[in-house]
A and B are shown apart, each in its own frame.
Chain A
Amino acid sequence: MSEIKTLFKEGMWANNPALVQLLGLCPLLAVTSTITNALGLGLATLLVLVGSNITVSIVRNWVPKDIRIPVFVMIIAGFVTIVQLLMNAYTFGLYQSLGIFIPLIVTNCAIIGRAEAFASKNTVPLSAFDGLMMGLGFMLVLVVLGAIRELIGQGTLFDGADLLLGPWAEALRIEVFSFDNQFLLAILPPGAFLGLGLLIAAKNVIDTKIKSKQVVTPEVEKGPRARVTSLT
């Protein structure tokens, strides 16, 4: 139970792939111009991450250490192809608007990172849960960044949600305020860099606040410490 709790905390906050590990920045910065795009890519990444984590965990005892990376990449590429074909079939508009960034999920370091660091050393259920949490954490950051950029850039939320969720979702579109001029910078890549920087700063502020609130327990003197690493 405590393992699951740790995994949840790691994925969503303490070791969040986007805010702490800073992995997978390429899609993070490129496609978060609207919530819909961010959600679409986040879901795709989530599916691939869970799938690849499960598969890697299943085959972990049969894959020789020397060729594990190519094997992992092949597994991930297989899942990306599945997701790409699914999106092509069911959410064609979104498939077109995400473009090259769907196949590029293969190169998302967050996924191969989890395969290498976690799934190849842990059991199937734990790996699946880790994939789910990491994927959700990544998606959460994508969506928040997408929301900020969409709001500042064009004053709307959930613009084009019907591309992802079907025609009923057109009702989701909220026009918060309308400009005569779009604030182009928020929609262009520099806006993503600035936005991500501010999000990371916000996370660090919250962490510091939490730390300062925790009661500092005085350290008990345990006697002289022995040096465990040798000086070389």
Chain B
Amino acid sequence: MKLTMASSPHNHSTKSLSRLMITVIAACIPGLIAQVYFFGTAVLIQLVLALLTVSVCEAAVLLLRKRKVWPTLSDGSAWLTAVLLALSIPPLAPWWIIVIGCLFAIVIVKQLYGGLGFNLFNPAMAAYVLLLVSFPVQMTSWLPVNDLLANPISFTQQLSVIFNGFTSAGFSVDQLRVAIDGTTMATPLDTVKTDVAHHLTVSESMSKPLFNDWFGLGWGWVNFGFLLGGLYLLKAKIINWHIPVGFLASLILCSGIGYIAAPGTEPGVVFHLFSGATMLGAFFIATDPVSASTTNKGRLIYGALIGLLIYLIRTFGGYPDAVAFSVLLLNMAVPLIDYYTQPRTYGHGVKK
């Protein structure tokens, strides 16, 4: 038997970075399938565009920085950014939206700060906020689920919309958004918010065809898909439980208190959990190992504050959903959280 001397740590995790990233991407698949089923194959077109753009951008920057391209590119972190961004933007957004987003995410947010491990902010979410602030019209043009469309369109037609702005029959995205009953559809979160502002109660708002009994058609299933993927990530020990639990518990608590206080204007716990990007945010975005807090106590605080901000912005803010803004704000707070939650090193700093 050969005995080798190795320095600590002796007990390695066998997961390599690229396997980690590929697993996270794979865990997005249930949510992706739900999104494709309810909102059309255009999501896949955006996905391909995003993957191509990040690969080109990352390779270009690495060449400029005189680094080896393939080892860094194949760690998959850029591809994960692409997947998250493609899942977050409206499927029928014009092609240049996703290209600008990926360019910004990789070149400015990630590589200018020094590459993976040095970025202060979550690249996908920073890019999402850039797009939302710069192109509010395109970034809020979500279509209703396929079943409700007055003019359902095929894959080639979706391709035509993304690259030319119109289908071959001449429908623009705005016209496509018209549903069977002739009204333009917004997302469930947006609809509830607008209706409450117009003095409707939530139950009146949710009797619209956009909703089933609990949450928006389609959106609930998309969130359910991401929840499934997220649970797999927890089981595979890719992510810690602290951030998602802090995130969801805080959102449940806040929306629960809100619902008890004002049942007429508050959509309640289930709606908050299964609308918008809640599950994607809780399991895939907030858990980014680089820009999130790194201590266990800090992770709980980080997640809980994101949940609180999401509830506050959804209820009182100007935007219908708030995962990106909340994550970015908390990214800024991470150094402070880490500073105050440093665990005690064994044998040091015992309280007297």
Give chain A's interface residues, CB within 8 Å of chain B. 181, 183-186, 188, 190, 194
Q: Is the CB of A183 within 8 A of B108?
A: no
What residues of chain A lie closer than 8 Å to B134, measured between beta carbons? Answer: 183-186
Q: Which interface residue of A181, A186, A188 has the most chain B CB atoms within 10 A? A: A181
Chain B's nearest CB lies how many Å from the CB of A5? Answer: 35
What residues of chain A lie closer than 8 Å to B138, measured between beta carbons? Answer: 181
Q: Is the CB of B108 within 8 A of A184?
A: no
Q: Is the CB of B108 within 8 A of A188?
A: no
- Cβ contacts A to B, 16 pairs, < 8 Å: A181-B135, A181-B137, A181-B138, A183-B134, A183-B135, A184-B133, A184-B134, A184-B135, A184-B136, A185-B130, A185-B133, A185-B134, A186-B134, A188-B133, A190-B133, A194-B108
Chain A's closest residue to B112 (CB) is A201
Query: In the complex, given contacts A184-B135, A186-B134, what are 10 additional A-B residue pairs having Cβ atoms less than 8 angstroms apart?
Result: A181-B135, A181-B137, A181-B138, A184-B134, A184-B136, A185-B130, A185-B133, A185-B134, A188-B133, A194-B108
Interface size on B, residues (CB 8 A): 8
In chain B between 97 and 140, which residues have their CB closer than 8 angstroms to a CB of chain A? Answer: 108, 130, 133-138
What residues of chain B lie closer than 8 Å to A185, measured between beta carbons? Answer: 130, 133-134
Give chain B's interface residues, CB within 8 Å of chain A. 108, 130, 133-138
Chain B's nearest CB lies how many Å from the CB of A208? Answer: 14
What residues of chain B lie closer than 8 Å to A183, measured between beta carbons? Answer: 134-135
In the bound complex, what is the Cα–Cα distance between A183 and B138 (angstroms)? 12
What residues of chain A lie closer than 8 Å to B136, measured between beta carbons? Answer: 184
In the bound complex, what is the Cα–Cα distance between A179 and B265 (angstroms)? 40
In the bound complex, what is the Cα–Cα distance between A190 and B133 (angstroms)? 10
What residues of chain A lie closer than 8 Å to B135, measured between beta carbons? Answer: 181, 183-184
In the bound complex, what is the Cα–Cα distance between A14 and B301 (angstroms)? 45
In the bound complex, what is the Cα–Cα distance between A128 and B166 (angstroms)? 61
In the bound complex, what is the Cα–Cα distance between A188 and B136 (angstroms)? 13
Chain A's nearest CB lies how many Å from the CB of B47? Answer: 23
Chain A's closest residue to B137 (CB) is A181
What residues of chain A lie closer than 8 Å to B137, measured between beta carbons? Answer: 181
In the bound complex, what is the Cα–Cα distance between A194 and B133 (angstroms)? 14
Chain B's closest residue to A180 (CB) is B165
In the bound complex, what is the Cα–Cα distance between A188 and B130 (angstroms)? 11
In the bound complex, what is the Cα–Cα distance between A184 and B136 (angstroms)? 9
In the bound complex, what is the Cα–Cα distance between A183 and B136 (angstroms)? 10
Q: Which interface residue of B130, B134, B138 has the most chain A CB atoms within 10 A? A: B134
Closest 3 CB pairs of A and B: A185-B134, A184-B134, A183-B134
Chain A's closest residue to B165 (CB) is A180
What residues of chain A lie closer than 8 Å to B130, measured between beta carbons? Answer: 185
In the bound complex, what is the Cα–Cα distance between A185 and B130 (angstroms)? 7
Chain A's nearest CB lies how many Å from the CB of B162? Answer: 15
What residues of chain B lie closer than 8 Å to A184, measured between beta carbons? Answer: 133-136
In the bound complex, what is the Cα–Cα distance between A87 and B134 (angstroms)? 32
In the bound complex, what is the Cα–Cα distance between A183 and B137 (angstroms)? 12
In the bound complex, what is the Cα–Cα distance between A39 and B133 (angstroms)? 27
What residues of chain B lie closer than 8 Å to A190, measured between beta carbons? Answer: 133
Chain B's nearest CB lies how many Å from the CB of A194? Answer: 7
In the bound complex, what is the Cα–Cα distance between A181 and B96 (angstroms)? 11
In the bound complex, what is the Cα–Cα distance between A114 and B136 (angstroms)? 43
In the bound complex, what is the Cα–Cα distance between A5 and B108 (angstroms)? 37
Q: Which interface residue of A185, A188, A190 has the most chain B CB atoms within 10 A? A: A185
In the bound complex, what is the Cα–Cα distance between A122 and B16 (angstroms)? 64
In the bound complex, what is the Cα–Cα distance between A188 and B108 (angstroms)? 17
What residues of chain A lie closer than 8 Å to B133, measured between beta carbons? Answer: 184-185, 188, 190
In the bound complex, what is the Cα–Cα distance between A184 and B133 (angstroms)? 7
